[in-house]
Structure 1
């Protein structure tokens, strides 16, 4: 039983239409239609507010649709594991490069083109996404902010809410041209990176964001705390279908990964193992 089945059943039971649900969830009818027909995957529960709205409207137990969506997404992830990530759309890369300050843009372009979707391109893209997604998540319930962003793109409030929900559900491997047009372009004013230290500065559009400069520095420090093995790593190592081919060196690398406030799953470590083996992510020694 999946999200779309439960929603369709409740709509039938109450004699409701998709447009009624769309209005309650503050999204477009097209969004609901695609969700119910399977053309759109259910968004991640921790990146959206529509499940609470739909639970209430459909008189379902609180958290019911979020629980089903989480299970459905995990099953889909299991089916997709092992697929090679695809590079960024050329238009996405060009937008990111266009936002780079001129002093470093030429050097960055050389690296991007020499190592397509390599470590530098992934680092920059991920941080830009993290910053803008954090802002979008924070402002999801701010109607005035959403209307301001919608106006910049010539969209309605409901259309912008759908776009926000889609954007919050994307990742570095699936960032689209639409994501760029709707968020990265209007919200990112510029960015700059020190190629020696990888210190990154992101400047946001001050018309839409207060405190618009974000700085990130990447410094390697030796931890003095004793090693505590993550439960997800234990599960990964116990499952031969996930870790059976991992070398001692690869396992040592996975053990060094640190997390704050999150607990990665065994599937996460499997994905990291695949990334570690991808030659596109590393320079030749």
Structure 2
């Protein structure tokens, strides 16, 4: 079967995956194997139970596009539209996550920031801080994900399979400021970030890495 023509209008990612799998007479399991993710992860994506990864996640969308013979922009375009059409309004980051993040701030600034974060408009600042630190940590994880040999060695050391180790990294890359967990902070943020500070007027951040 030839490659699909570019979509005229974006649809939900799960809908596109289901349609193309049906057209190619392939299964979600085969797609999971091609993308090197767990069957559960792919099943959730295909059925729409999982929010689609960010449009820039070429580590997932590129092999999916190749397997499904889609136009290279179809999945990122659909993901962008679906994520933009999500629930209105944003939840504040987890309180324990915010506490752990604040502990990494320069000690002399913690009290000032704590007061600012407790104000009614503090939620937006909370999002900015957690989101920026998350982006930094995800950059490290992206590079770790690209090192298959190193990841396989780490999986052996930690007593898990390569796929289990890979999925843990992928789950973290799917996180945003609202879904970041205290475990994520312990495992990915704190080991990488020594300290940070923020200009409360411009929101420019200075992040010191380990």
TM over 0.5: yes
Partner of 1:73: 83
Contact 2:31/2:67 (CA < 8 Å) preserved in 1?
Answer: yes
Distance 1:195 1:58 in 2: 46
Compute the RMSD of aligned alpha carbons.
3.5
Give ranges in structure 2 of 5+ residues lacking alignment: 1-10
Aligned: 1:30 with 2:74: no
Partner of 1:63: 73
Which of 15, 33, 40 is 2:50 aligned to? Answer: 40
Which of 172, 181, 186 is 2:177 aligned to? Answer: 172
1:41-120 matches, cutoff 5 A: 41-74=51-84, 76-77=85-86, 80-81=87-88, 83=89, 85-100=90-105, 104=107, 108=110, 111-112=113-114, 115-116=117-118, 117=122
Using the TM superposition, give the Cα deviation of residue 118 of structure 1 relative to its aligned residue in structure 2, in angstroms.
Answer: 5.3
Q: Deviations over 1:86-106 (max 9, x none)?
A: 3222321233244456xx17x
Contact 1:47/1:137 (CA < 8 Å) preserved in 2?
Answer: no
Distance 2:17 2:199 in 1: 50
- Compared CA separation, residues 194 and 19, structure 1 to 2 (3 A): closer
Aligned: 1:136 with 2:136: no
Aligned: 1:200 with 2:206: yes
Give 3-state SS (helix, strand or coil) of 2:56's partner.
Answer: helix
Distance 2:174 2:209 in 1: 23
Which structure has the larger Rg? 1
Q: Deviations over 1:243-285 (max 9, x none)?
A: xxxxxxxxxxxxxxxxxxxxxxxxxxxxxxxxxxxxxxxxxxx
Which of 179, 191, 196 is 2:195 aligned to? Answer: 191
Give 3-state SS (helix, strand or coil) of 2:176's partner.
Answer: coil
So what's the TM-score if we normalise by structure 1? 0.55
So what's the TM-score if we normalise by structure 2? 0.71
Q: How many residues align?
A: 195
Give 3-state SS (helix, strand or coil) of 2:177's partner.
Answer: coil
Contact 1:126/1:172 (CA < 8 Å) preserved in 2?
Answer: yes
Aligned: 1:18 with 2:24: no
Using the TM superposition, give the Cα deviation of residue 52 of structure 1 relative to its aligned residue in structure 2, in angstroms.
Answer: 1.2
Using the TM superposition, give the Cα deviation of residue 60 of structure 1 relative to its aligned residue in structure 2, in angstroms.
Answer: 2.5
Q: Deviations over 1:50-103 (max 9, x none)?
A: 1110111122233332232223223x14xx33x2x33222321233244456xx
Using the TM superposition, give the Cα deviation of residue 21 of structure 1 relative to its aligned residue in structure 2, in angstroms.
Answer: 1.2
- Compared CA separation, residues 61 and 111, structure 1 to 2 (3 A): closer
